[in-house]
Amino acid sequence: MSDLVKRADLEFVAQLKIFAEKLPNYQMALGLTAAQTEAVNADDDFMAFVILSNQAADGYKQGWTELKDLARTGTGNTPITSFPITAGPALPPITPVAPGIEARFRALVGQIKASPAYTQAMGEDLGIVADSSSTALTKPVLTVKMVGAEAVIGFKKLSSDGIKLYSKRGAESDFSFLAVDTRSPYVDNRPNLVPGTTEKRTYQAYFIVNDAQVAGVSDAISVNV
C-alpha cells in the first residue's frame, strides 16, 4: 500500500505547501482551530527553508567536485575561469518549530480523516490521498527545465529505488553515465564544455532496483544550457 506522505524531500515540501494553503478552506468543517492551521504554516515554512537550503548546499558541493575533477584530469586548452557560486542561505523563518514535522503532519492528517465531515474529494484537494501503487516498471518518464543556469531533471521512482541517469552534450555523440539518483529531482550544474556558449544537453535513464539497472530506457529529453 502506498504511503500518503511523499518520500522525496522536494515532493514533501510541495505536499506541505498545498496542505498549508488549502487547509483554511476546511478548518470550520473539520473542527480545527486557528492554532492548528497556524502551526501547519510554521511547519511548512520551516521545512521548505531547511530542505531548499540543503539542496543548494548539495549543488554547491557537486559543482566544486566537478571543477576539481576538471582541473585535475580534464582536457583541452581553455583556461578555467568560472567557479561554483552559492547564493547563501536565506533568512530562517520567523517562527521556530520543534523537531518532528512529518510526525505532526501524519497526526493531523489522521485527525482530519477521522472527522465525519471528511470526504475523498477533500483529501484530494488537500493532497493527503496516497498515490495508487504499481510494481510494474516499464521505463522512467523524465522531465527537464532550466532553473537559473542549472538543468533540473525530474522523475517518478514508482516502485524502484531510483534511476541511473545518462547524458550527452555539445558535440558528444554517445550517452555516458552521469549519476544514480534516489530522489527527484536531479540538478545538473556542470559547467558548459565551452564556457560562454550555449550547449544542448540530452538525458535518458533506467530504473534501478537493488543497485541493478532494470526495465527499459526512458525517452530522451533535451534542453539548451
* Chain center to CA of 88: 19
* Chain center to CA of 5: 14
Rounded CA-CA distance 118/63 in Å is 47
Q: In the prediction, which pLDDT does 8 show?
A: 82
- Taking a C-beta distance cutoff of 8 angstroms, is the pair 45, 154 a contact? no
pTM of the model: 0.57
Q: At a CB cut-off of 8 Å and minimum separation 6, what does 60 contact?
A: 84, 86
Q: Which single residue is written with the C-alpha cell 515532493?
A: 11
H/E run at residue 150? strand 150-154
Assigned fold of 143-224: Immunoglobulin-like (2.60.40)
Is the peptide bond prior to 185 cis by the omega test (within 30 degrees of 0)? Answer: yes
Per-domain boundaries in the chain: 9-126, 143-224
Q: Is the pLDDT of residue 1 over 70?
A: no
- Per-residue model confidence as pLDDT tens digits over 193-206: 888 899 999 999 99
pLDDT band at 133 (very low <50, low <70, confident <90, very high): very low
The mean predicted confidence, pLDDT, of the chain is 88
